[in-house]
Amino acid sequence: MNDKDTISLAVWDVPMPVVAGEKFWIKVGAKSAAKRKLAGCCVEVSNAAGTVVASGTLGDAPLAGTEALYWTTLDVPAPAKSQVAEYFVRLVSDEAIATQFSVSAAAKPEHRLSVKITELDTAEALAGVEIRLGPFHARTDKTGRAELRLCKGDYQLQLWRTAHIAPPQPISITGDLSLELKMVHVPEEHPDARWVR
């Protein structure tokens, strides 16, 4: 490899949480700063004990919208029990090219929570609202709706969206549930305000 070439490794689309004892999919990609073709290169995923748990080869074409990010999808086994687990990803080559990611493994979700979020004053559906309940999270679509699969239990429901607020609220999941929630629009400060004196 050219001494001036640097290869970077990326992992994305990691689900949160994963279901303990089941498999989950991730995407792994590698890019050469010199735009060298990396198709066919092998990537491996190891658990914290160093055991290789998944491997594959980078595809023939770069990811759409990129110039040289060669990628693949890997099927990775989740931890057997509920926990946070660390995984290590490496590009099999002469050099030490590696990265890592972690997952939160949870029991298999038993219940479904359907949520619709609107703006308080306008009743307009809010897209892109991040919804979090413990390790479970989702994002609303353009109709302001999202669905989460959850385990039975007590959670703190939190909503986040730029220029909007909603107080966290406790929620108890004992079965399937539908909620309609509202967020308050809060005008954003001028983006350069902190630099103006």
More confident residue, 192 or 36: 36
Please return the burial class of 117, using the count of CB atoms within 10 Å of its CB with bins 0-12, 13-18 and 19+: buried
Smallest Cα–Cα separation from 43: which of 76, 65, 14?
76
pTM comes to: 0.66
Confidence band of 193 (pLDDT split at 50, 70, 90): very low
Nearest 5°: CA angle at 141, between 138 and 146? 45
Rounded mean pLDDT of 180-186?
Answer: 95
Residue listed under structure tokens 């980078």: 58
The string of pLDDT tens digits covering residues 109-123 is: 899 999 999 999 999
The string of pLDDT tens digits covering residues 160-176 is: 999 999 999 999 999 99
Check if 7-106 and 111-185 are the same fold. yes
> Tokens representing 92?
């099999």
**Separation CA 81–CA 107 (nearest Å):** 7
CATH of domain 7-106: 2.60.40.150
Rounded mean pLDDT of 46-58?
Answer: 96
* Per-residue pLDDT at 1 exceeds 60: no
* pLDDT (0 to 100) of residue 70: 96
Strand positions, DSSP E, the chain? 7-12, 18-19, 23-32, 42-46, 52-57, 69-77, 83-91, 97-106, 111-119, 130-133, 136-139, 145-150, 153-160, 164-165, 169-173, 177-185
**One CATH from 3.30.70.980, 3.40.50.300, 1.10.10.350, 2.60.40.1120 for 111-185:** 2.60.40.1120
The string of pLDDT tens digits covering residues 81-95 is: 989 999 999 999 867
Rounded mean pLDDT of 98-107?
Answer: 92
Domain coordinates of the chain in residue numbers? 7-106, 111-185
